[in-house]
Amino acid sequence: MSAGAGQARRLGLDVPGVRAQACLLLTPCWQQGPVTNRAVSDHTEEQRVPIKGSCHCGKTQFEVSEAPADVTRCTCSLCSKRGALWAYYTPAQFRLTSPAENVATYLWGSRTVKHHFCADCGCGTYSESPDWSTGKPDFDNPKVGVNARLFDEFDLDAVPVTIIDGKNLW
């Protein structure tokens, strides 16, 4: 592995007033067991089926508990260049199904969000972040943003796209 790749994998957090231990968002349990689905009654809701996805070369694979109801297009510099449409999940709803060694991580700006990508083909696959819905990082409620463009057998045109003005927000 190159020195740059090793450095990219480094985990860290450099946000004033935030404790360093809040940095650990991915837990080893994500590599174990199936993703969590809400209990669904056959009489009240449509059955939810896990959705699988992967990078271009297939070395980074994952699954989520269900199809997204909507996706988000962020206009920040990284997301704009990456071209991702993000579907958000709780950690229990996401599972990395390939070896963690196949994933590299990029941290920028506040170093609060871990942007993961395939270490081989470079596709941006998923990110880990605190919940930002209040405008401040909530590390007690982490989110996993999955690049919905990488889902297998999923029609992105069937879900609405919400635009976040990341260019001006952060």
How buried is 149 (Cβ within 10 angstroms: 0-12 exposed, 13-18 middle, 19+ buried)? middle
Max CA distance (Å), the chain: 55
At 56, list the tokens: 């271009």
Fold of 48-169: 2.170.150
Is pLDDT at 150 greater than 60 in this prediction?
yes
Q: Where does the chain show beta strands of DSSP type E?
A: 51-54, 61-64, 71-74, 86-89, 94-96, 103-106, 114-118, 124-131, 138-147, 161-164
Q: Which residue has the higher pLDDT, 86 or 40?
A: 86
User: Where do the structural domains in the chain lie, given as residue ranges?
Assistant: 48-169
Q: What is the pLDDT of residues 85-105, one digit of tens each?
A: 999 999 999 999 999 999 999
